[in-house]
Amino acid sequence: MSQAKVDRYKEEKANRKKTLKKEKAMRALYSVIGTLVCLVLVCWIGYSAYGYFQNGDKQTTASRTEVDLDALNDYLATLPTADSAE
């Protein structure tokens, strides 16, 4: 091994505890952030679904509308049909 490699190895070995502690802290931080993001997503989807289903009941109720088709029936009665053309 060259002297540079030996020096790098010694430096890495001396700072190994600090490096491992930093990596462990970063891994824990990423886990917490990932868990929070997932929790927010699940809550958002649940809240949206709750609102959709609560409002969905009001929108799906049938309403009755009356239409006066007398004018349309009169118009259709005045049109010549295939039977009357012969």
Residues 33-86: pLDDT tens digits? 999 999 999 999 999 988 888 876 555 556 788 999 999 999 998 988 777 655
**pLDDT for 18:** 93
CA distance 31 to 24: 11
Start-to-end CA span in the chain (Å): 110
Mean pLDDT of 18-29: 96
State the pLDDT confidence band at 26, using cuts at 50, 70 and 90. Answer: very high
**pLDDT for 29:** 98
CA distances (Å), origin 17, targets 4, 7, 27, 74: 21, 17, 15, 94
Tokens of 9: 């190895």
For residue 7, how far is the Cα from the chain centroid? 52
Name the pTM for this structure.
0.50
Dihedral sign of CA atoms 47, 53, 56, 58 in order: negative
